[in-house]
Amino acid sequence: MTAQTIILIFTLVIYLIIIFVFNRARIKYAGGKVGKVINLILVTVCLLFIADYVVIFDNIVDTNILETIKSLFRTAALSFLAYGGAKVADS
């Protein structure tokens, strides 16, 4: 196994733990500001997950395109979190 594979497996485990924990919390705290924040975190983690695992298509797509896609998903995740956080803070 290469170092990149080990890192991807480790981050996969971390993402799955985060998604599992926050999904259980979403069920427990449905509704209200806490529910909205939990949904924000879940969507952000899913977008970051996609950004990290774009590398799987390394053999199919050019590296520059993959870096662009990775940057777009990371930017989308942080923008979604910032915008959603501002909306939750307003309400």
Residue 73: other Cβ atoms inside 10 A: 19
- 11 belongs to a structural domain: no
- 82 in a structural domain: yes
- Flag whether 5 is in a domain: no
Integer Cα distance of 76 and 33 in angstroms: 22
Supply the pLDDT for residue 55: 87
Domain assignment of residue 47, given as a range: 18-90
45, part of any domain? yes
Give me the pLDDT at residue 5, please: 86
pLDDT of residue 88: 87
What is the CA 21 to chain-centroid distance, rounded? 14
The domain tally of the chain equals: 1
Across the chain, which has 91 residues, the per-10-residue mean pLDDT values are 88 93 89 89 94 89 93 95 89 78
Contact 24, 51 (CB under 8 A): no
Q: How confident is the model at residue 89, as a pLDDT?
A: 85
Cβ contact 5:24 at 8 Å: no
